[in-house]
Amino acid sequence: MARNMALQATKRREGVSDPRFDRELVVNEFLPSIRYHASMLKLRLPSSVEMDDLVSSGVVGLLDALDKFDNSRGIKFKTYAEFRIRGSMLDYLREMDWFPRSARRNAARLQHAYARLESILGHPPSEEEVAAELEISVEDLRKQLAIYSGLNVFSLDLPQDDEDSISSGIQKVLGEAARNEARQEELLRELKEVLGKAIDVLPEREKQLIALYYYEELTMKEIGAIFGLGEPRICQLHSQAVLRLRGKLRNQLDS
């Protein structure tokens, strides 16, 4: 970074103003970060989504950030650029529509079943209880859960429907945190508290899974080795935990 800043300073002293030179430097500086964001998304996406395409869309987002960045707003360029990089990747996924609307509707149906049963029973429902509620077998429920292994807690990694109050609520908080650096720490702390409370009441195994996946950033295969379960079963348990969390967060964001 220091070397690139020195090169830019040299160019300015020489009176050279070449936007391509500056843009190229910035892209090179951000490329590791872009690849990191792409790899984190890729872990939660079907194999049909190419890593290179995610990286390319991230570069497009970075260039867009360079064109639109307004230093007078008091936002750090790095913060703004990373929002645009990730946003551009999500735009690309929306255009692909890799998660069909019918599948999203079914995910919402499952989510509502978990939330409704928990409010009635007073405890997180078992697979048997959810299957009975949906009038399907436990085997069919597990097949459906396997489909949603890429589902993210906040749906930020998925194409979103306009009515998804979870996504809009979380994005609103993150957007405000990016714009208002003075409140950034407070807003992110509040967000963590909301999520933490929801995680605390998960069944113990699912609580551990969420911690290992989202906080320790282990893969499903690595988590399976810890639990002594196969990767497909871990994917099902992850989907179940996420659906429970989404129901809880929706209730809190709507209240």
| pLDDT tens sequence across 7-59 | 343 343 333 344 444 888 899 999 998 998 888 777 767 677 889 999 999 99
Coil, strand or helix at 193: helix
Q: For residue 24, what pLDDT is reported?
A: 87
Q: For residue 44, what pLDDT is reported?
A: 64
Residues of the chain with pLDDT under 70: 1-21, 44, 46, 73-74, 97-100, 149-185, 187-188, 191, 251-255
Q: Which two tokens stand for residue 242?
A: 């996420």
Residues contacting residue 192 through CB under 8 Å, at least 6 positions apart: none
Q: Which two tokens stand for residue 183?
A: 């409140």
Q: For residue 206, what pLDDT is reported?
A: 94
Alpha helices, DSSP H only, in the chain?
2-13, 19-42, 51-68, 77-96, 101-121, 127-134, 138-147, 165-179, 181-200, 204-210, 220-227, 231-254
Nearest to 26 by CA among 63, 54, 75, 51: 63
Q: For residue 117, what pLDDT is reported?
A: 94
- pTM here is 0.57
Residues contacting residue 133 through CB under 8 Å, at least 6 positions apart: 113, 116, 117, 125
Q: For residue 218, what pLDDT is reported?
A: 81
Q: For residue 166, what pLDDT is reported?
A: 47
- How many CB atoms sit inside 10 A of residue 31's CB? 14
Q: For residue 245, what pLDDT is reported?
A: 87
